[in-house]
Chain A
């Protein structure tokens, strides 16, 4: 399973766009990139998944360059409630397990 590297923590302000970048230099051809969000004392929650280029849903956008060695989760106009830990994972559905790294602790300030 490909290893991922993310910043340990980030601070931003309400109303700003936040971009969290994840490095996955050893991503395999069949791997997808998935992001989860976790609030304190809760289980992680799926945010978005993609394979290449750009994916957007009602919560976030995911940008993946052509070489797929990194990806960027973009959260538009964050609010205080977006304070959480964000995990980047890579994997293929043929694996029945996924590995969570340390994630990025995002702190939104008023």
Chain B
């Protein structure tokens, strides 16, 4: 079974609108972290936001927020006020405490922001 599932291979959003990218995860480890990374066409991986399994509040970083629903094992990324520069691949990743520092990545969602 996949540990990180991103069900949307591609998405469109109109500039200035908000968009939600889905991510569900599967783990039996009580301590884990969830990450979102952006990968533009240049290939670099840009860290966006982090949510720890024990965090009580949803993480926010500027226009990015993470809708963390622990019971449903989902960690959706919300981008508000989309910009043309947000067009990229977005990867959800998980780190399990019992697995050290290694990450497991989802298959990614390609977001295209339309002007």
Q: Are chains A and B native binding partners rather than an unrelated pairing?
A: no
B residues near A (Cβ < 8 Å) are none
